[in-house]
Amino acid sequence: MSRDLSGAREVLDGDDVARALTRIAHEVVERNKGAADLVLLGIPKRGVPLAYRLAERISAVEGVEVPVGALDTTMYRDDLRLRPARALEHTDIPNGGVDDRIVVLVDDVLFSGRTIRAALTALEDIGRPRAVRLVVLVDRGHRQLPIRADHVGKNIPTSLAESVKVRLTETDGHDGVLLDKPGRTDEQQEATP
């Protein structure tokens, strides 16, 4: 299935992404023994549309609406002083909050674990969930913190020089996951669809 697109290799196409999300939705429901008390919080940017897609799939299986929101981690990151300023994203906590609920954090790529650490810290300011679980579309390895996803769409072993680019219809016009080769210039990476 792997296609080469302008030097970046497509490792998941739109159908693969859809199948992975359907499988993850079933895993979440099975582990939770239903959809009761679930709250899905997507981590901007691409975690938010993934959370909404998962909620739709869970609702189709369980027949109940699952609350979905967004959790911005920007101000909780430990690299704020090391990187250029970033715009704040939107945090949107569903009605009913997160207290004593099962919060499922949803992100596109799990890499060092630092974004998830920031999300856990941000979540502390919002409430006290009964449990927190993690869903990622792609786990690329190279963890710097002891963080592990509960549900993974695809494990994609990478080198540190490679980059994983998730594309979603809501943000990019189509679904897919690209693995960018090491050593490419920024201009070559930006030209990749």
pLDDT band at 47 (very low <50, low <70, confident <90, very high): very high
Amino acid present at 117: R
Asked whether residue 52 carries a pLDDT value surpassing 50, the answer given is: yes
Asked whether residue 184 carries a pLDDT value surpassing 70, the answer given is: no
| Mean pLDDT of all residues belonging to the chain | 91
pLDDT band at 7 (very low <50, low <70, confident <90, very high): confident
The CA distance from 34 to 30, in Å, is 6
pLDDT band at 4 (very low <50, low <70, confident <90, very high): low
Alpha-carbon distances, residue 147 vs 36, 39, 143 (angstroms): 25, 20, 7
CATH number of the domain to which 50 belongs:
3.40.50.2020
pTM exceeding the 0.85 threshold for the entire prediction: yes
How many distinct structural domains can be found in the chain? 1
Rg (Cα) of the chain, in Å, rounded? 17
In a domain, 191, yes or no: no
Listed in order, strand segments (DSSP E) in 36-145 are 38-42, 68-70, 102-110, 131-139
The CA distance from 25 to 66, in Å, is 11
Query: According to the model, what pLDDT value does residue 79 have?
Result: 77
Asked whether residue 1 carries a pLDDT value surpassing 90, the answer given is: no
pLDDT digits (tens, 9 = 90+) for 159-175: 999 999 999 999 999 99
Listed in order, strand segments (DSSP E) in 52-130 are 68-70, 102-110
Query: According to the model, what pLDDT value does residue 181 have?
Result: 81
In a domain, 97, yes or no: yes
In a domain, 139, yes or no: yes
The CA distance from 79 to 61, in Å, is 40
Query: According to the model, what pLDDT value does residue 187 have?
Result: 39
In a domain, 187, yes or no: no
Q: What is the mean pLDDT of residues 147-152?
A: 98
Asked whether residue 34 carries a pLDDT value surpassing 80, the answer given is: yes
Q: What is the mean pLDDT of residues 91-107?
A: 97
The neighbour count for residue 184, using CB atoms within 10 Å, is: 18
Query: According to the model, what pLDDT value does residue 15 have?
Result: 98
In a domain, 74, yes or no: yes
In a domain, 133, yes or no: yes
What are the beta bridge partners of residue 179? 9, 164
**Could you tell me what percent of the chain has a pLDDT over 90?**
82
User: How far is CA 43 from its chain centroid?
Assistant: 6
What is the residue range of 91's domain?
Answer: 15-158
The neighbour count for residue 154, using CB atoms within 10 Å, is: 17
In a domain, 173, yes or no: no
**Could you tell me what percent of the chain has a pLDDT over 70?**
89
- 92 burial via Cβ count (<10 Å: 0-12, 13-18, 19+): middle
Query: According to the model, what pLDDT value does residue 78 have?
Result: 84
The CA distance from 75 to 53, in Å, is 26
Which of 45, 12, 7, 13 minimizes the C-alpha distance to 192?
Answer: 7
In a domain, 54, yes or no: yes
Task: Report which secondary-structure segment, H or E, holds 9.
Answer: strand 8-13
